[in-house]
């Protein structure tokens, strides 16, 4: 393929309820979609991070510059643009995995469409639907949390993840266990909110039989996570600290990570995400597909990935209605606790033109005419 044009569309899609984590509150998904035009086909993707670098170091305005000034010139200089050639061409640019993932995913969408192949087929999916979990934000009160969890369980979600932080951990977990029973698949996510000095406190969560505790300590501190794992029984799962398959291998070898959250954007795209999956599967370490409150454009390829055989736990791949009253694509719907894996070529979905127009707050041509 030859790169002809790349357009960036800023979108702001309101969330149905504010989503609070240990790092902030989100009331709408503010990000950009990338639209890549080649001589053979067109592709779409979604930048996974937010306007502020609170979850990770990347952010919307920074990614735009990185794409325009560093990534797109290298993609355009390739004699033949393929997804496989892209990561090596971008490798000299340090970091910026989420920006790289946005470009790679749009190119992959275009390339697969040119070959009439669905992403799930390309990645090696073994399922046509995937079990859905749901990530529940920090609430002002335990009764409000229990109401929200009850609603999700009534809809059919198969696993609950509670966001936690110091002051909102043992009490909400105990309340959810008491109300919904020991059989409920339950896990927690701290988004780096604790220190190793909190180990004895976090050990109080051991009695609740959680599937895992996600990223309890600071990002990239594998050693501290390994030390914590020696002191708690709940399996430690890493999110923010894993940027590649190599990181994942190191973390597993150090026993810093007994469960892997695979977010394709965080590791630079779907090719590396499959390698992360393969590393986890080779070690017999359970994996699941994370999320970033994506619109349908980001959700669709995550569902394709989540259909790989090593994803043995339900992911944060919830239905569109959990996030948005109106999605930018045809909505993803929960049926029997599962979401259907897109079966059309490429990522399998397109923005709905009229809906996209309403949610678009700005457009910029980053490359070409
Ligand atoms: O840590 O997994 C996380 C959302 C935004 C940023 C980080 C995280 C999350 C979630 C929600 O937990 C995942 C989702 O439902 O998309
Ligand atoms: Mg997380």
* Ligand 1 atom closest to the CA of 134, numbered from 1: 15
Mean pLDDT of the chain: 98
Closest ligand to C-alpha of residue 58 is 1
What whole-number distance in Å separates Cα of residue 231 and Cα of residue 202?
9
Q: Catalytic annotation on 100? A: no
Place of tokens 């198969």: 158
Looking at residue 268, what is its pLDDT?
A: 98
pTM above 0.95, yes or no: yes
Looking at residue 110, what is its pLDDT?
A: 98
CA nearest neighbour of 236 among 167, 285, 274:
285
User: Which of 20, 21, 192, 295 maximizes ligand 1 atoms within 8 Å of its Cβ, making it the mutation to test the pocket?
Assistant: 21
Q: Answer whether residue 369 shows pLDDT above 90.
A: no
pLDDT above 70: percentage of residues in the chain: 100
Helix, strand, coil in percent for the chain, rounding step 5 = 40, 25, 40
Q: What's the gap in Å between 316 CA and the centre of ligand 2? A: 9
Looking at residue 30, what is its pLDDT?
A: 98
What whole-number distance in Å separates Cα of residue 53 and Cα of residue 50?
7
The domain spans of the chain are 3-116+352-367, 120-340
Looking at residue 197, what is its pLDDT?
A: 98
What whole-number distance in Å separates Cα of residue 233 and Cα of residue 227?
12
Q: What's the gap in Å between 118 CA and the centre of ligand 1? A: 25
Q: Catalytic annotation on 163? A: yes
What whole-number distance in Å separates Cα of residue 56 and Cα of residue 50?
9
Residue nearest to atom 14 of ligand 1 (CA): 291
Residue nearest to atom 6 of ligand 1 (CA): 292
* Ligand 1 atom closest to the CA of 26, numbered from 1: 5
* CATH code, residues 3-116+352-367: 3.30.390.10
* Ligand 1 atom closest to the CA of 318, numbered from 1: 15
User: What is the mean pLDDT of the segment spanning 240-245?
Assistant: 98
Which of the four pLDDT bands, split at 50, 70 and 90, describes residue 221?
A: very high
User: What is the mean pLDDT of the segment spanning 177-190?
Assistant: 98
DSSP summary character for residue 157: -
Residue nearest to atom 7 of ligand 1 (CA): 292
Close Cβ partners of 183 (under 8 Å, ≥ 6 residues apart) = none
Q: What's the gap in Å between 238 CA and the centre of ligand 1? A: 13
User: What is the mean pLDDT of the segment spanning 19-38?
Assistant: 98
User: What is the mean pLDDT of the segment spanning 210-226?
Assistant: 98
Pick the CATH number of 120-340 from 1.20.210.10, 3.20.20.70, 3.20.20.120, 3.40.190.10: 3.20.20.120
Q: What's the gap in Å between 38 CA and the centre of ligand 2? A: 34
Q: Parallel, antiparallel, or unpaired: how do β-strands 236-238 and 213-214 relate?
A: parallel
User: Which of 60, 134, 214, 291 maximizes ligand 1 atoms within 8 Å of its Cβ, making it the mutation to test the pocket?
Assistant: 291
Q: By CB neighbour count within 10 A (0-12 exposed, 13-18 middle, 19+ buried), where does 81 fall?
A: buried
User: Which of 26, 290, 296 maximizes ligand 1 atoms within 8 Å of its Cβ, making it the mutation to test the pocket?
Assistant: 290
- Give residue ranges with CB within 6 A of ligand 1: 55, 135, 189, 191, 239, 290-293, 316, 318
Residue 238, Cβ neighbours under 10 Å: how many?
25
What whole-number distance in Å separates Cα of residue 134 and Cα of residue 156?
10
Q: Answer whether residue 334 shows pLDDT above 90.
A: yes
Q: What's the gap in Å between 21 CA and the centre of ligand 1? A: 9
CA nearest neighbour of 185 among 154, 218, 162, 165:
162
Domains 3-116+352-367 and 120-340 share a fold: no
CA nearest neighbour of 318 among 289, 347, 343:
289
Looking at residue 11, what is its pLDDT?
A: 98
Looking at residue 271, what is its pLDDT?
A: 98
Is residue 165 within 8 Å of residue 190, measured between CB atoms? yes
């Amino acid at each position: 393929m030859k790169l002809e044009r790349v357009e960036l569309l800023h979108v702001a899609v309101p969330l149905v309820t504010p989503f609070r984590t240990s790092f902030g509150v989100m009331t709408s998904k503010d990000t950009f979609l990338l639209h890549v035009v080649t001589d053979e086909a067109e592709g779409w993707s979604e930048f996974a991070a937010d306007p502020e670098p609170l979850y990770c170091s990347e952010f919307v305005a920074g990614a735009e510059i990185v794409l325009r000034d560093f990534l797109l010139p290298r993609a355009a200089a390739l004699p033949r643009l393929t997804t496989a050639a892209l990561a090596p061409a971008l490798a000299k640019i340090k970091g910026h995995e989420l920006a790289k993932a946005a470009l790679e995913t749009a190119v992959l969408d275009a390339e697969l469409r040119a070959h009439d192949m669905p992403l799930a087929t390309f990645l090696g999916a073994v399922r046509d639907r995937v079990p859905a979990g749901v990530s529940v934000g920090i609430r002002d009160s335990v009764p409000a949390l229990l109401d929200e969890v009850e609603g999700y369980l009534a809809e059919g979600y198969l696993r609950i993840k509670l966001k936690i932080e110091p002051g909102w951990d043992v009490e909400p977990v105990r309340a959810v266990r008491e109300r919904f029973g020991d059989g409920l698949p339950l896990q927690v996510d701290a988004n780096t909110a604790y220190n190793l000095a909190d180990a004895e406190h976090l050990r109080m969560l051991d009695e609740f039989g959680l599937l895992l505790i996600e990223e309890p300590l600071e990002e990239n501190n594998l050693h501290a996570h390994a030390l914590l794992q020696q002191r708690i029984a709940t399996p430690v799962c890493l999110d923010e600290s894993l940027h590649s398959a190599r990181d994942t291998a190191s973390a597993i070898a150090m026993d810093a990570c007994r469960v892997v959250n695979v977010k394709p954007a965080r590791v630079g795209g779907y090719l590396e995400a499959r390698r992360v999956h393969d590393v986890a599967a080779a070690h017999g370490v359970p994996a699941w597909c994370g999320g970033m409150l994506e619109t349908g454009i980001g959700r669709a390829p995550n569902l394709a990935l989540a259909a790989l055989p090593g994803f043995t736990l339900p992911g944060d791949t919830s239905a569109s209605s959990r996030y948005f009253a109106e999605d930018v694509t045809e909505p993803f719907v929960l049926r029997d606790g599962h979401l259907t894996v897109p079966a059309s070529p490429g990522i399998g979905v397109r923005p709905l033109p009229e809906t996209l127009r309403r949610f678009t707050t700005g457009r910029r041509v980053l490359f070409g005419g």
